[in-house]
Amino acid sequence: MKEHLCLALLKNCSTDSKEVVKVLNYIFATICLKFRAKLKNEIGVFYPIIVLKQLEDFSGTRVPYWHRLVVVHCLQKVCADAQTLVDLFVNYDCDLESVNLFDRTVLALIQLVQGLSYSPEVAEMVPAQAKLIRNEAMKCLVLILQSLLAWPSEEGGCDKPSQNAEKGSTVGEISSDNDAYQSMPEGLQENENGRKSPTKEDAGTPLHRSTSNLETREIEKRRAHKLGYEAGIALFNGTPLKGMKTLQESGYVGKSPAEVALFLQTTSGLEKSKIGEYLGDHTEECVAVMHAYVDSLDFTGTTFDAAIRNFLSGFRLPGEAQKIDRLMEKFAERYYTCNPGSFRSADVAYVLSYSVIMLNTDAHNPQVKNKMSREDFIKNNRGIDDGEDLDQEFLKDLYDQIVRNEIKMRSDTRRPQAGRRPGPAGVDAIMNLLPGRRAHPSFEAMPDDVIRSIREKMEGKSDSTFYVATNYENMKPMLEAIWAPLLAAFSMLLEDSIDEFVTRSSLQGFRAVIGLSATLYMQTVRDTFVSALSRFTYMRTPEMMMPKHVDVFKTLLEVAEEYGNLLESSWMYVLESVSYFEYIHQQVNGMSDASLFSPEHLEALSPKEEGHGGSKYFKRLSRKGSLSTPHAVPGIAVATLDSLDPGRANSGLIPQGLPPPGVLDFVEASEVDRLFASSGNLSSDAIVHFVEALCMISQREIASHHTPRVFSLTKIVEISQFNMNRIRIVWSRVWTVLGPYFAEVGCHPNLSVALYAVDSLRQLAMKFLERDELANYTFQDDFLRPFVLIMRKSKSVEIRELVIRCVSQMVLARVSNIKSGWKSMFMVFTTAAADSEKGIVQLAFETIEKVVREYFMYVTETEVNTFTDCVNCLIAFTSTRYSPDVSLNAIAFLRFCALKLAEGEIGNIEHADQDGNPERAAISGPLFSEKEAHMFFWFPLLAGLSELTFDPRPEIRHSALEVLFDILNYHGLHFTEGFWERVFSSVLLPMFDHVRAEITDATTFEDSARRAEIDAWLYETCNDCLGHVLSLYSKFQPFLKQVFPQVISLLVGFVRRPHERLAAIGMHSYLSLLQQSSSQFDDKEWQMVLTALQEAAADTLPDIAILTEPHGRRVSEENPGSAANHRKYRDLTTGAGSRKLAEVKTRTKTQLLIVSSISQIYGGSFLEIPSKYVDVLLDVVNSCAAHARKVNSDTVLRARVIEAQEESKLSAAAVLPDPPLQQLEDEASHAYLSILMHALAVEKTEGASSIWKDANVEERLVQFSMLVLDNFLPKEEEKGAEVALVTARTPLVVAVLRALLSFAEEEFKTHLSELMPILTHLIEAEYSPSEVTKAVSEVLVGRMGKLVVEELV
């Protein structure tokens, strides 16, 4: 039956009988709907002949009107069945060997719609028949889209993604209840014989079952493969060499010459002129292909004219002579090979072929007037057969064949018509063989050779497996193929036509494409169609609006309501049109929200903030891709965000003009309101996209500073209230968009807009805080964060005050519900503490005071981390410069916070275990260690108070200092050794860092105010700080052993500084430490204390020589005779010289402090120093004295110092004495002598420790005495020059002489031989003072007299 059916169709497909055409098309439509699985190959052949050929003949000259109308009517039945459409696409458009049936059908229908459309001006001139065909074609297009959109709901279809489904969910598949269907996970369903087709009309039609299942992605892959192939064909038709290379690289064509030749012979869509150009190219590859091409032709037993006709049927000869020569040469060689007895050589065939080509041109070119005769042709070919003539009868017959039947070499006999893609070899050729239409309705049967060719084509199809699509995703490539031309067609009709049917159909098409693209998540297609629909509302140019544009707007609202969950970034275009509509509606009714916020309603508008319309936040939204520009469609202007309204960034979305009267009456305000009221029904992803788009529109509305609009801002508040009850995770996503938006609008330069935004934010916050929040969540914090951003960024005092009042109101009204929101609230108050307006500071602190006094238990009820935020907030208020009372109260509140923390009332902190120390037995409460969890709470509080000790206000400094050390003293027993170590290293000791680094007597401060500030801290606070630190150490010494080296380093560091006051403070504190804590020192600590002192003494020895450094300044070329150029030493009045002089004086005074302190350490009744460390003190004092003695005895150095001071012309008060270190020498020597005398006395006591003997006290005393006495009188060459030095050293010499009297007789007698020469010299000396002579006499009488008497006796 199939054979008879196909034969009947073949014989009648070219008939002119209306009845036959109707029956023929009805039968073929039935085949497509019900028997397509069994007749796959037949449909692939008949569809182009019966349907496409009639539709694609757009000229209308060959296809009568009635025939085309019959085809369109029958096609409507096919278009109404989505399963058939998808099956056609899957089996033909995705098959490389088949014609694109679906694609070409849609393009043909679009051509009918566009080609027969008309403008309003020429409406009367359009024939009714053409209009009818256009309308029927429109029906077909709409049916295609609507049936595809509804396809999954039909029997046999699969589940499509619901518009309520979240993006990213998988597309499910279900099998039909009918036994004919089997669920195929790959997305295609193949049917066995005897089972039903998945179409509704099918009843018992057997389908072929495929041997393999194709997945959905495989369909897309095959479609992409075919599109790539067609692109390669198009490229070949432009540039043959490049096109062939692309086809080979993509795997469509093999690399061998034979494969390329076969491709050129069998592929439809290749232009014959391009094939000839490729075959005639001189490159090695092309020549090889040409040889393979010709060698594939079989000319055996073929006449010469038939052979050359066959040869030239596949391509057109190129115009270049060399290319023609290569082709004809190869043809002659091939013909001679196939027919070896036809000519004596291939050269004969070569010459004759050229002659035939010339004859064909001469005989059939109308421009040639004098035609070649038969005799001329014979004459031209004489002697070509190796000098002999060819048979004249052969030549005559050849001449007659060419003259009667032209050898046609058209360039594009296989080129598809416009809008058609190249198909497989055979189909287009068969269609070209069909007889043309005549002007009269006579019947012309199809030739037998054509029928035979078609039957061979159908029977020769290798793959006849029919695939039944069941996956909704299979429609993606279908829509990709047709959306651009559909957009062009619908847009043109909607723009130009006033016909109600055309407008309604175009809107139906728009709606269906939007629904399809949204459901399939094809963002580019969806955005492009929605933006185009938005443009056709004409809301931007209302004066041009007509009723059809209102219909467009209503369709846009319906699309948004129906597909809202899938619109994503397309919401932008919908809400933009709504904003325009609302403004126009207000203007028509005589009101506008823009006028309410104009500058006339403001007291002032800051001109410097003009142009603030843009924002980083909204640029970020655009970068997210939600507002990406759709791809442009050739031939149609698509509305995008950048093309809708140039310069609209500051336009405020205010259209110009008003619509004609009564146009807007067709739209009810409730339709627009329903769009926002139903936002609560949107899915989780959709509401986020909706809010993003609405925020963008609102930002554009308020972009104009002079006429801002708040329509979208009002709607944002409404939808926020509608959607606030969503689950937390969804609402948090929504607020990630709304939060930054409110923060941006709250800083708007238009004060009214900003106030409106902040008040709206307050309303939402109050409502949100009605909901309870569990512990460890941050929803409240995220919600209130915009208040923080507004408070930080706003330049308006009114806005900042409003923020404080809003937050204060929330605290008072919702304090029991606030959990994580405390963090943002404290951040707001912290920002307010640094505000430049005193009123804002006081207003904020009033709320903080109330929170701490009355609501402190709520602060850390569920989130202990907010305690730190509270502390930081209080510390910020301590730094305010506008109200000392606020600062002092904030410091007092910090004491309260510390008390609560020490008592363990701050959350459930894991406390340290008791260490068993008996001193902690009396305390109750937690024990804090160096754990990060404990330091997290304590460190901000203690460090904040530590920083306040540098506050320039004395009352704040002293209060902070008092509170800091009160906290440490009062709660110190709650701290472990590790905690104390962190406190000292991170809080207490850093208080002195910048002072130790900056303050020196030698520093030149350019800023006197800065110097005064440092001096104030130095003289008023530093000493108190050190005192508190030492008291703290003394009180908690058992817990502070590990910080003792740091304390000693701190004190000695002060001593080392070249600053007299710092050194004095350091030594005083050093002595205080020993006085308070030395009784508990062990040997290691004593060694540490005295070693540090020894190092400090060595580091602070004054270097007098630095004052005599030579002058290093270059000689001035401009003034070579200036005094500066003749200077010998560095200037001691300015710059480095002045600093060095100050350093020498400071070091000298520091040495005196060290000597004095050592005397107190050793001789004080309050201290009992271990005897084994006496030698350390002796070494320190002796080193000081020795250094001073050395400097004072260096007459050359002293002379240079005097010279340098005279050269610098120092004042009398600034000049160093001469000798410069005489005071240091005297005091150090006296101290050394005193310690030695005391040590000697202790050594002589009964039970004295052997350590004293090990110190060699007696030996030290003798050496010191001899050194002092020997250096007392000047040498012979220095007499007369050192009278002053002798006078200065006299008291020391007298003391040393009297110390000799303390020696025992045996001891004195032991050293008599060393002492006697010195004593004799002192008596004989001319310049020996009387005091010295008297003391020497006492020694001689007291000691020498007894020795003489003993010797005489």
* Residue type at 269 in one-letter notation: G
Q: Is 928 helix (H, G, I), strand (E, B) or coil?
A: strand
- Pairing assessment for the beta strands 188-189 and 468-469 based on DSSP bridges: antiparallel
Of 998, 1002, 1081, give the one whose Cα is nearest residue 1047.
1081
Q: Of 3, 166, 249, 320, which one is the catalytic site residue?
A: 320
Phi and psi at residue 1170, to the nearest 5°: -55, 135
Of 724, 563, 722, 584, give the one whose Cα is nearest residue 655.
584
Of 959, 991, 963, give the one whose Cα is nearest residue 884.
959
- Whether residue 947 contacts residue 987, with contact meaning beta carbons closer than 8 Å, is answered with no
Q: What is the DSSP letter of 651?
A: T
Q: Is 145 helix (H, G, I), strand (E, B) or coil?
A: helix
Rounded Cα–Cα distance for residues 1061 and 1067 (Å): 10
Three-state secondary structure readout of 357-398: HHHHHHHHCCCCCCCCCHHHHHHHCCCCECCECCCHHHHHHH
Q: Which residues contact 294 (CB under 8 A, 6 or more apart)?
A: 311, 327, 330, 331, 333, 334
- Whether residue 737 contacts residue 615, with contact meaning beta carbons closer than 8 Å, is answered with no
Rounded Cα–Cα distance for residues 299 and 176 (Å): 58
Q: Is 636 helix (H, G, I), strand (E, B) or coil?
A: strand
- Whether residue 570 contacts residue 531, with contact meaning beta carbons closer than 8 Å, is answered with yes
Q: Which residues of 228-237 are buried (b: 16+ CB within 10 A; e: fewer)?
A: bbbebbebbb
- Whether residue 933 contacts residue 864, with contact meaning beta carbons closer than 8 Å, is answered with no
Q: Angle 684-701/728-745 helices, nearest 10 degrees?
A: 10
Rounded Cα–Cα distance for residues 1353 and 1343 (Å): 16
Q: What is the DSSP letter of 1341?
A: I
Of 735, 749, 752, 836, give the one whose Cα is nearest residue 787.
735
Q: Is 918 helix (H, G, I), strand (E, B) or coil?
A: helix
Task: Report DSSP letters for 1112-1147, one per residue.
Answer: -PPPPSS-TTSGGGG--B--SSSHHHHHHHHHHHHH
Residue 1331 annotated as catalytic: no
Rounded Cα–Cα distance for residues 93 and 104 (Å): 9
Of 308, 333, 517, give the one whose Cα is nearest residue 402.
308
Rounded Cα–Cα distance for residues 916 and 195 (Å): 89
The tokens describing 145, both together, are 């889209």
Rounded Cα–Cα distance for residues 44 and 54 (Å): 16
The tokens describing 284, both together, are 């090695």
Q: Please count the residues of the chain.
A: 1353
Rounded Cα–Cα distance for residues 1307 and 1061 (Å): 45
CA 496 from chain centre, in angstroms, equals 46
Rounded Cα–Cα distance for residues 985 and 1106 (Å): 37
Burial of 464 (0-12, 13-18, 19+ CB in 10 A): middle
CA 656 from chain centre, in angstroms, equals 39
* Angstrom distances, CA of residue 862 to CA of 37, 772, 781, 820, 1253: 69, 12, 13, 8, 71
The tokens describing 332, both together, are 């002659």
* Residues identified as active-site: 320
